[in-house]
Amino acid sequence: MVKLSVIVPFYNVRQYASETLRSLRANARADFEFILVDDCSRDGTGDLLERAARDLPGAVLLRHEQNGGLATARNTGIDAARGEYLAFLDGDDWLAPGYYRQLVAAAEDLGCDFLRTDHVQCTARARSVHRVPHGARGQVADPRTAILPAGRSTSVDYAYAWAGIYHRRLLDRGLLHFTDGLRTAEDRPWIWRLHREADSFAAVGLLGVFYRRGVASSLTQIGDVRQLDFIRAFDQVVRETAADEEAEKLLPKAVRTYCAIISHHLGTIERFEPPVARKLKSLSSAALRRMPQRVLDEALDSMDAARATRLRRLRRRPAPEAAA
């Protein structure tokens, strides 16, 4: 039986894919499979994946006929996965040798639905360790307890799918697929759903994922309309949380986080193309009016004056009919 399925989407990352694939080789084991999803790359990445499919132990190559984005590519890999555990990696990141052996061992030792791990962020030559914002390490807990408090960074704010490992029973319960077509913030509805609906999780102080920040082709660096998918993503978070039996308790966190993300994008609006910047303001204004207004009032009251003023002004902004 396959113990671990690692799902790795690739899209136009030829410059980095060789390092990613070498790190997978340094993590290979007879009962591991590596599902490589070529999301219709046009830069020669596919040629590297063709060779990897022949030479990398446990490699399975899947191809998209048209680009679908990270969420859709991950779903393709999830549908093909055979492992007892699933993990994710992005095509421009890499792993320490033997990391997945340690991760599987930790998951088997704790026996919970999913684990979250720390990671190393790499920006040019700089390296910095980023920790799961959850104090207790190596202790199984109810995932709901890690959503709050609203005013502090918690595990749902550390939304990296690749920073963890997930038992197959989550897939069997319908909790592991991503919202199809989301091109940014795809991890947000996903991690919120896990924390609301899974039965158990733990955080472990295990380093081994190296996250490459500042890649020119990454959507975090591109100011086009795809960035605005964060609105669809957070609309889903708020909508699904509002339907939860503990909505009154959890919604303040969802709404406050949504507000903080809107404020962040408005604060860096100069990186967007002018038509996208206008659309960002219009869609964000409409989003603020869609939120539960009492909860929104409380969220704005809890934020610093600069962000609260920016969002209140946007809230009052007349939205074009198309944006609404």
**Digit-coded pLDDT (tens) for 141-156:** 999 999 999 999 999 9
SS (H, E, C) 276-323: HHHHHHHHHHHHHHHCCHHHHHHHHHHCCHHHHHHHHHHHCCCCCCCC
The helix/strand/coil state of 89 is coil
Give the C-alpha distances (Å, rounded to integers) separating 134 from 34, 105, 252: 29, 20, 19
Predicted pLDDT of residue 319: 58
Q: Who has greater pLDDT, 318 or 6?
A: 6
Q: Which residues contact 227 (CB under 8 A, 6 or more apart)?
A: 184, 219, 265, 272, 276, 280
Tens digits of per-residue pLDDT, 63-77? 999 999 999 999 999
What secondary structure does DSSP assign to 145-204, as a single string? GGT--TTS--GGG---TTSEEEEHHHHHTT-S---TT--SSTHHHHHHHHHHH-S-EEEE
The helix/strand/coil state of 38 is strand
Tens digits of per-residue pLDDT, 246-256? 999 999 999 99
Which residues partner with 4 through β-bridges? 32, 85
Predicted pLDDT of residue 215: 60
The helix/strand/coil state of 7 is strand
Residue 322: which pLDDT band, with cuts at 50, 70 and 90? very low
Contact 311, 287 (CB under 8 A): no
Handedness of CA 251, 255, 260, 262 (dihedral sign): positive
From the options 3.90.550.10, 2.30.29.30, 3.20.20.70, 3.30.43.10, give the CATH code of 4-215: 3.90.550.10
221 vs 198: CA distance, rounded Å: 33
Residue 323: which pLDDT band, with cuts at 50, 70 and 90? very low
Q: Who has greater pLDDT, 317 or 220?
A: 317
Contact 159, 188 (CB under 8 A): yes
Q: Which residues contact 279 (CB under 8 A, 6 or more apart)?
A: 225, 228, 323
- pLDDT over 60 (residue 222): no
Residue 216: which pLDDT band, with cuts at 50, 70 and 90? low
294 vs 277: CA distance, rounded Å: 28
- pLDDT over 90 (residue 119): yes
Contact 5, 87 (CB under 8 A): yes
Q: Who has greater pLDDT, 192 or 124?
A: 192
Nearest to 21 by CA among 49, 42, 44: 49
Give the C-alpha distances (Å, rounded to integers) separating 21 from 45, 97, 249: 11, 12, 43
Please list the residue range(s) of the chain that carry CATH number 3.90.550.10. Answer: 4-215
Predicted pLDDT of residue 310: 95
181-212 b/e with 16+ CB inside 10 Å = b?
ebbbbbbbbbbbbbbbbbeebbbbebbbbbbb
Tens digits of per-residue pLDDT, 171-215? 999 999 999 999 999 999 999 999 999 999 999 999 999 999 876
What secondary structure does DSSP assign to 10-32, as a single string? ESS-HHHHHHHHHHHHTT--TTE
Q: Who has greater pLDDT, 20 or 317?
A: 20
Predicted pLDDT of residue 214: 76
Q: Is the pTM of this model over 0.75?
A: yes
* Proportion of the chain above pLDDT 90, given as a percent: 92
- pLDDT over 90 (residue 124): no
Per-residue pLDDT averaged across 235-254, rounded?
98
Contact 35, 7 (CB under 8 A): yes
Peptide bond into 133 cis (omega under 30): no
User: How many Cβ atoms from other residues are within 10 Å of residue 238's Cβ?
Assistant: 23
- pLDDT over 60 (residue 324): no
